[in-house]
Chains A and B, each alone.
Chain A
Amino acid sequence: AQSVTQLGSHVSVSEGALVLLRCNYSSSVPPYLFWYVQYPNQGLQLLLKYTTGATLVKGINGFEAEFKKSETSFHLTKPSAHMSDAAEYFCAVSEGAGGFKTIFGAGTRLFVKA
């Protein structure tokens, strides 16, 4: 069985500060890992994904995440927050090659202060 834990339901940062959203996962098989972003009254859209290969993955809007197998983590970072980054972020895990069922974390709402 797979599971995802996002640490912190709310994170607040100042504009220009580092963004760090934490995600830990559990999977019995090599996982595929995802970060999605949801803006108010919209569906989720993909920020970035890890499948195989390079463990540091870069996504849209300057976000990146690093897959750390030993720590079962996939934390999302951005060096400098922008007001437009304010949204809800979801970490997700699926079973890797051949597995399409995806489990989503509870979400972390990011607030950006001017």
Chain B
Amino acid sequence: DAGVIQSPRHEVTEMGQEVTLRCKPISGHDYLFWYRQTMMRGLELLIYFNNNVPIDDSGMPEDRFSAKMPNASFSTLKIQPSEPRDSAVYFCASTPRTRNNEQFFGPGTRLTVL
């Protein structure tokens, strides 16, 4: 299996621009998670989906952040407008219901907002 795929791997943008991060979960996995990792705050859960439906978005920091999962094989995390404090590594992870919440992480997208 290919594992969780994230794109782009690196993104550099200027403050105020829209940023879209993409994720393809492992086929057959029911749950998809978006995390943000920073030195100051560690690994934070932003939102997670079950069968393409958002279940808990309480970790989304502001209205500038939005996430969608239009189908079982694709999800996006969008930041509009971006700010320098959004600079972080964003991870996508997925898991099937049968694995007791063992999560499979993608390689991450390193976002730098200038």
The finding on whether chains A and B are genuine partners in a shared complex, rather than unrelated, reads yes
Residue A13 is within 8 A (CB to CB) of chain B in the complex: no
Residue A106 is within 8 A (CB to CB) of chain B in the complex: yes
Determine the main DSSP class of B at the interface with A. strand
Whether A102 lies near B45 (C-beta < 8 A) is: yes
Contacts of B106 in A (CB 8 A): 43
Contacts of B95 in A (CB 8 A): 100
Q: What does the 1/0 interface line of A92-106 toward B look like (CB < 8 Å)?
A: 001001011111111
Residue B18 is within 8 A (CB to CB) of chain A in the complex: no
Q: Closest Cβ of chain A: how far from B107's Cβ, in Å?
A: 5
Of A32, A43, A107, the contact of B100 (CB 8 Å cutoff): A32
Interface size class of B (residues with CB under 8 A): 20 to 34
Q: Closest Cβ of chain A: how far from B52's Cβ, in Å?
A: 14
Whether A100 lies near B43 (C-beta < 8 A) is: no
Q: Which of A21-29, A44-52, A63-71, A74-82 faces chain B? A: A44-52
Q: Kindly report which residue of chain B lies nearest to residue A97, judged by CB atoms.
A: B100
Q: Closest Cβ of chain B: how far from A77's Cβ, in Å?
A: 20
Binding site for A on B (CB under 8 A): 4, 31, 33, 42-43, 45, 48, 50, 55-56, 91, 93, 95, 100-108
Binding site for B on A (CB under 8 A): 32, 34, 36, 41-46, 49, 51, 90, 94, 97, 99-107
* 16 A-B interface contacts by CB (under 8 A): A32-B100, A34-B101, A41-B107, A43-B91, A43-B105, A44-B103, A45-B105, A46-B103, A97-B100, A100-B31, A100-B55, A100-B95, A100-B101, A102-B103, A106-B42, A107-B43
Known pairs A43-B91, A99-B101, A107-B43 / 16 extra A-B pairs, C-beta < 8 Å = A34-B102, A36-B105, A41-B107, A43-B107, A44-B93, A44-B103, A46-B103, A46-B104, A49-B102, A94-B101, A100-B48, A100-B101, A101-B48, A104-B43, A104-B45, A106-B42
